[in-house]
Structure 1
Amino acid sequence: MDTLKDVYLDQLKDLHSANTQAREATRALAKAASDDGLRKALEAGVDGIEDGCGKLEKMLAAHGKDAKGEHCKGMEGLVREARAHALKEDFGADAVRDAVIITQYQRMAHYAIAGYGCAAAFASQLGLEDESATLHKMLDAAYSGDESMTELAKSGINAAAA
């Protein structure tokens, strides 16, 4: 990589791979959730992740790049942890599993937040204002998903798990 644009395009590919992996993990977390509000929030998260994948594909295509070919090892680890701790573990109560599901989803969301923030800053520096604006919207959506999980945890799931 020789230029900031090279780094930027690599980050978009990494984000696409991360989203693809997170989408499947989030689907599985939604199926495992017992709280209806949590399940609906996770299903909305899947929709948001799919939307993000499409936007990243369009941005990469505009630069003559294919979204495929990159494999995000960071998200791979987060997905492995989500599956191990939220799906394969045995729980004494559904609310405990739901609390762990929130934890694991938020870890994946924080990865997306970091990636979108960096990519948006790179796009802005490169004068790609439309892409920067799109990435900022995606960043805001990731923050919103994270905040909704915190609200679900505070509004009863953590208390039920305790």
Structure 2
Amino acid sequence: MAIANLKDIYIDQLQDIFSANTQSEKVTRELAEAASHPELKRALTAGVEGIEEGRRTLSEIIKSHGADPTGEFCKGMEGLVKEARSHGLDEDITDADARDAMIITQYQRMAHYGIAGYGCLAAFAKRLGLSEDAHKLQKCLDATEHGDRTMTEIAVGGINKAAA
């Protein structure tokens, strides 16, 4: 698709974040399985549920504009997922608390990609006069930011100290 205007960018980036969520969902499940701290496991499981909800919302929005949700492959998230697997799952980390700290790091990097994407999309939707889309995207942004804050609280609340 040739990009000629903000609406084209909007559709392209909706598809990009849909792809990002598709990729991050699987590795987040794997991170949840690898985590040892019960609160971290719960937060990652909630993260998977949030990612799934985001994918449903994005799919609905994309289809409402006559586009295919799978029309784009997110290479940015592909790299973040590789890093999450390499450092959070495959790395030889002998201490469970240290692994949990690394898992949080990797999850937050993926979440920050989502925060940037949802923020841009919500702004685009507002500029395009798509108030319903903007509202839905803002809810996705808020949920992703909440997940990020939860991970920070878990890290600062004990995992980082235990890993030190």
TM-score (norm 2): 0.98
Equivalent residue number for residue 36 of structure 1: 38
The separation in 2 between residues aligned to 1:61 and 1:85, in whole angstroms, is: 36
Equivalent residue number for residue 62 of structure 2: 60
Query: Runs (4+) of structure 1 moved beyond 3 Å?
Result: none
**Structure 1 residue aligned with 2:79, among 77, 80, 84?**
77
Equivalent residue number for residue 162 of structure 2: 160
- Secondary structure (helix, strand or coil) at the match of 2:69 reads coil
Alignment root-mean-square deviation, CA: 0.5
In the TM superposition, 1:79-98 aligns within 5 A as: 79-98=81-100
Deviation at 1:92, TM superposition (A): 1.9
Query: Any unmatched runs of 5+ in structure 1?
Result: none
The separation in 2 between residues aligned to 1:155 and 1:54, in whole angstroms, is: 32
The separation in 2 between residues aligned to 1:4 and 1:28, in whole angstroms, is: 36
Deviation at 1:70, TM superposition (A): 1.3
In the TM superposition, 1:8-157 aligns within 5 A as: 8-157=10-159
Deviation at 1:82, TM superposition (A): 0.3
Q: Deviations over 1:79-114 (max 9, x none)?
A: 000000010011121000000000000000000000
- Secondary structure (helix, strand or coil) at the match of 2:43 reads helix
Deviation at 1:69, TM superposition (A): 2.9
Q: Deviations over 1:114-135 (max 9, x none)?
A: 0000000000000000100110
TM-score (norm 1): 0.99
- Secondary structure (helix, strand or coil) at the match of 1:69 reads coil
The separation in 1 between residues aligned to 2:64 and 2:88, in whole angstroms, is: 38
The separation in 1 between residues aligned to 2:93 and 2:14, in whole angstroms, is: 37
**Aligned partner of 2:161: which letter?**
A
Q: Deviations over 1:49-102 (max 9, x none)?
A: 000000000001101111013110000000000000010011121000000000
**Structure 2 residue aligned with 1:2, among 4, 13, 29?**
4
Percent identity, aligned pairs only, is 59
The separation in 1 between residues aligned to 2:71 and 2:129, in whole angstroms, is: 26
**Aligned partner of 1:136: which letter?**
Q
- Secondary structure (helix, strand or coil) at the match of 1:90 reads coil
The separation in 2 between residues aligned to 1:57 and 1:34, in whole angstroms, is: 33
